[in-house]
Structure 1
Amino acid sequence: MAMTLHVDIVSAEKQIFSGTAEMVSATGELGELGILPRHSQMLTRLRPGQVRVKLLHGEEQVFYVSGGLLEVQPHVVTVLADTAERAADLDEAAALEAKRRAEDTMRNKVDEISYARAQAELVEAMAQLQAIEKLRRMRR
């Protein structure tokens, strides 16, 4: 029997996922993280991006998080996200529009606060689009 870990992904609004997995991958503040059963304990911030959960029998589920915290215990992984959604539920048109608006704001560079906000929105939109693309490749 393969070793497993329990994974919970929750946002401020609701629980997105709870189940057993073989591995979890996410983008932490210092780079990509791969979490397997018996991983050492850890607490880190997450960057906007994907959280990939490899379920038993090789199936993978992809989630988008806008940031948050990742807590790792030897057999439990908890993602506490500001915003989290299944990649399949993301709206590609809305993400493309958010990307376009952020790029326009950055080009016009009204003030530093607007520019910084636009940069953050661009990062989130790009992370959503990457999650959508990853899901597309998995379905092929």
Structure 2
Amino acid sequence: MADTMQFDLVSPERRVASYKATAVRIPGAEGELTAMPLHAPLITTLRPGVLHVEGEKGTEEYIVTGGFAQIGAEGISVLAEESYHRDEMSQEILDRMIDAAAERQRKAVEASHNDPGPVDDAAKLLSDMVAMGNHIGLSSKQPSL
């Protein structure tokens, strides 16, 4: 049985991380899941949250705002809409993320004509962004929902 798997995390701007990992905890849209070596093949969408990666250097944390994770026999590839190592996160970055999510919610409310689907999705996105900030110890501006 393999002890490690290849872990790759990329965003549109850059390769964020690439190394051998023993486990990766993913903030999946349908719930948290942990991928380990020889995990069954799977593709899942991501929700905003913290990706935890266990490797030779201990546990590393990465902030993701959405995207996809592909788990295969060779390892796991995470394609994030936006991603930062936990040490790179700042209040300014979190505020920008939350402002973008709040704007998306505002536009969904305006365009929905009381159709709950898009409004609920946008509210969930905003809620996930605020919870992610709280989880890593940054406070949000607590936009009005």
Select the residue among 113, 121, 132 that pairs with 1:127.
132
Unaligned runs of 5+ in 2: 112-117, 138-145
Q: 1:73-92, CA deviations, whole angstroms, 9 ceiling, x for partnerless residues?
A: 12310000000001111113
For the structure 1 residues 64 and 101, does the alpha-carbon distance in structure 2 shift closer, same or farther, using more than 3 Å as the test?
A: closer
Distance in 2, Cα, partners of 1:98 & 1:55: 28
Cα pair 1:96 1:125 within 8 Å, conserved = no
For the structure 1 residues 50 and 113, does the alpha-carbon distance in structure 2 shift closer, same or farther, using more than 3 Å as the test?
A: farther
Q: For residue 31 of structure 2, what is the aligned residue in structure 1?
A: 31
Number of residue pairs the alignment of both structures matches: 129
Q: For residue 112 of structure 1, what is the aligned residue in structure 2?
A: 109
Cα pair 1:8 1:17 within 8 Å, conserved = yes
Q: For residue 15 of structure 1, what is the aligned residue in structure 2?
A: 15
Cα pair 1:99 1:126 within 8 Å, conserved = no
TM-score by length of 1: 0.75
Cα pair 1:99 1:121 within 8 Å, conserved = yes
Aligned ranges 1:59-98 → 2 under 5 Å: 59-92=58-91, 95=94
For the structure 1 residues 113 and 19, does the alpha-carbon distance in structure 2 shift closer, same or farther, using more than 3 Å as the test?
A: farther
Identity rate of aligned residues, in percent? 24
Larger proportion of helix = 1
Q: For residue 44 of structure 2, what is the aligned residue in structure 1?
A: 44
For the structure 1 residues 102 and 2, does the alpha-carbon distance in structure 2 shift closer, same or farther, using more than 3 Å as the test?
A: closer
For the structure 1 residues 70 and 111, does the alpha-carbon distance in structure 2 shift closer, same or farther, using more than 3 Å as the test?
A: closer
Unaligned runs of 5+ in 1: 134-140
Structure 1 stretches of 4+ moved >2 Å: 92-103, 113-123
For the structure 1 residues 82 and 113, does the alpha-carbon distance in structure 2 shift closer, same or farther, using more than 3 Å as the test?
A: farther
Distance in 2, Cα, partners of 1:15 & 1:67: 16
Cα pair 1:90 1:128 within 8 Å, conserved = no
Distance in 1, Cα, partners of 2:9 & 2:29: 18
Distance in 1, Cα, partners of 2:101 & 2:8: 31
For the structure 1 residues 127 and 11, does the alpha-carbon distance in structure 2 shift closer, same or farther, using more than 3 Å as the test?
A: same
Instruction: Please report how far the alpha carbon of residue 112 of structure 1 lies from its aligned counterpart in structure 2 after TM superposition.
Output: 1.4
Distance in 2, Cα, partners of 1:13 & 1:110: 26
